[in-house]
Amino acid sequence: MTQVETYLLWVGHAGEGRDVRNLYAKEIRAVVQLAIEERSLELPREMILCRFPLVDGCGNDTALLSAAIRSTAVLVSGKIPTLVCCGAGMSRSPAIAAAALSMAKSTPPEEALEIVSRHCPTDVLPGLWQEIVQNITW
């Protein structure tokens, strides 16, 4: 899991969302889980868990995408240490993290994706990014 520096935001894969010891070590208080193919995380009661079953690519429900982005943006704006995770941690996680940063900090989505990409490996599928940018009201 990699922190997007200057923000209390981490991007990672599903296994990192299950690593409770490491979540505690990094003082992460919220996990946004995005992978439809992964089983729901089992976190301690004091941790926030938001689960949005997204596919990696085209075909996501706009309302579900919006809920994932807005929820993550609220956590970022509230300075709550948050991990955003998906299957491999390279497409949905950085895309939703970037969209949330864009919303929380009023920056263009592409600029926010560049910020996230400087901190972690990314391979955002173009169809997913297009759905995010075209269908979400900033």
pLDDT digits (tens, 9 = 90+) for 114-130: 999 999 999 999 999 99
Q: Mean pLDDT for the chain?
A: 96
At 134 the pLDDT is 87
Alpha helices in the chain (DSSP H): 14-18, 20-25, 62-77, 92-105, 109-117, 126-135
Q: What is the mean pLDDT of residues 67-79?
A: 97
Whole-structure pTM value:
0.96
Report the alpha-carbon distance of residue 91 to residue 93 in Å, rounded. Answer: 6
Report the alpha-carbon distance of residue 134 to residue 19 in Å, rounded. Answer: 34
Inter-CA distances, 101 with 15, 16, 109, Å: 23, 21, 8
Kindly state the DSSP code that residue 39 receives in the 8-state scheme: P
